[in-house]
Structure 1
Amino acid sequence: MPNIAFKACIQENQAVRDAYSMLSGNLYMESENKKISSIVITSSEPKAGKTSVAISLAVTLAGWGKSTVLVDADMRKEAALASIPREVSNRGLSQYLCNNAGYEEIICCTDVEGFRYIPNGGIALNPIGLICSERFDRLLESLEEEFEYAIFDAPPLDSISDAVLISAKADSAILVAKMGKTDITAIGRSKEKLEKANVNLLGVVINEINKRDYRKYLNSYGYFHSAKVKKGLLERQLPMAAK
């Protein structure tokens, strides 16, 4: 099976890499206290950058030598990555949950060592029913046994409950918000939805913070004075801060 390209997702800007390292480090410290191997990445609304956060977090963890798998858990859309070869794009999460593909068939190799990827498998007719199935539970158990971290890129929380259901089965969840776009009220509603389902919400990642605001938050980062990239990512709340 051909490798799916993810190396191009590795950020060149040192500040952005450090931000993801901060996020990964906080996850690692939290997992020292209790089991956190399956993590759902979701957002209050579409286009907040949750897929980019999920990919970069997974690639960072793999770069630390942690065996990691990223699952595209949005079965309401076509395959998200253009780099998925046509011959494997129709084998993924939805096919496995419908019992049309085996476990080994849906796990794709990537060009990043220690990093695997499971496509969504395309649009499913009954995503909620599939998430609530015993087969989903068995998949989650298998991933947690094989990998140190299983990252689920779930749909947004604005209109459907897929992400809540997946988060309730997983060890934890992270909300992604976009600077200047996501309303604080929407974050509050999403937090309430997750907490009603007894989800272990680790915190909120603020995406696309501009260079000036990031430097103000972390003014000891002197290399920002020469940074070329205008956009970055900041883990605004440390794990457990959202509780």
Structure 2
Amino acid sequence: MAKKQNQFNLDEIFRHLRTNIEFSQMDDDLRVINVVSTNPNEGKSTVSTNLARIFADKYKRVLLIDGDLRNPSDHKMFKVSNAKGFSNLLARYQPGTNVLSYEEIMPLEFSNQTILYFLPTGRRVPNPTEILSSKKFSQFLEQARKEFDYIIIDCPPINRVSEGISISSMADGTLYVISAKETDKRAAKAAIDDLERTGANVFGVVLTKVEEVKSRKYGYGYGYGYGEEA
């Protein structure tokens, strides 16, 4: 019962986050959303996968892309193979062709018959930065916009590599993940400033691993905010 209750609470939090994203589109069309953090282990992959799943509850076509080519983890959460994926697809992608026709994109079905389309990272490559800043990736996203209601991209940490900055400049909006426990706020603020200087639209912040007020013990929960400084 406790496990079901925890999952229910988590789902409710991400539904609230989804609603906030929907209502934040008064001036901007936020259909391609990338999720970044300052460093590893701050909760960005948990946010990415759960947010994509909750969006898929409401919209017919939602695509989750694991863009962390150096340290992929989303496939482990879904317990699927990472042998083929994004890097394989992009190597042979022809601009203008139907994205859903590529076998690397997996339709994942959940117990409530929700379908989430998932693109794992695929084989390791020696040049992730070149791939994620390439014209072909931009063309792929342009076509994917036509086929999906929402696209969620799980990006590498900003302080470790530059790929997150490249992806942020192509996305409609960037969701920044901050851990209440691990994140250095000054480093996060500097990273957000860097993103905005390169043209990224940092439209929201998600606070992870917040303290559970009732027990005064440290828990793994989620908070969220919009237009806030880190």
Q: Provide the TM-score with structure 2 as the length reference.
A: 0.85
- Which residue of the partner structure matches residue 52 of structure 2? 58
Equivalent residue for 2:89, pick from 90, 96, 100: 96
| 1:205-216 matched pairs, under 5 angstroms | 205-212=206-213
What is the CA–CA distance in structure 1 between the aligned matches of 2:181 and 2:71, rounded to whole Å? Answer: 26
Contact 2:33 2:172 in 1 (8 A): yes
Question: Do the aligned residues in 2 keep the contact of 1:78 with 1:122 (CA within 8 Å)?
Answer: no
Unaligned runs of 5+ in 2: none
In 2, the alpha carbon distance for the partners of 1:127 and 1:11 equals 39
Alpha-carbon distance in 2 for matches of 1:188, 1:76: 24
1:156 & 1:210 partners in 2: Cα distance?
A: 23
How many residue pairs align between the two structures? Answer: 217
Maintained 8 Å contact 1:71/1:150:
yes
Q: Work out which of the residue numbers 203, 222, 227 in structure 2 matches 1:233.
A: 222
Secondary structure at the counterpart of residue 205 of structure 2: strand
State yes or no: 1:67 paired with 2:61.
yes
Counterpart of 1:154 in structure 2 is 155
* Aligned residues of 2:49 and 2:74 also touching (Cα < 8 A): no
Query: Shift in Å at residue 151 of structure 1?
Result: 0.3
Residue in 1 that maps onto 2:104: 106
CA RMSD in angstroms comes to 2.6
Letter in 1 for 2:104: I
SS of equivalent residue, structure 2 residue 46: helix
Query: With structure 1 as the length reference, what TM-score do the two structures score?
Result: 0.80
Closer, same or farther: CA 85–231 of 1 in aligned 2, 3 Å: closer
Give 1:203 deviation, angstroms.
1.8
SS across alignment from 1:110 = strand
Q: What is the identity, as a one-letter code, of the residue corresponding to 2:196?
A: E
Which structure 2 residues correspond to residues 1-243 of structure 1 after superposition, within 5 A?
12-77=6-71, 80-82=74-76, 83-86=78-81, 89-99=82-92, 103=99, 104-112=102-110, 113-212=114-213, 230-235=219-224, 237-238=225-226, 240-242=227-229
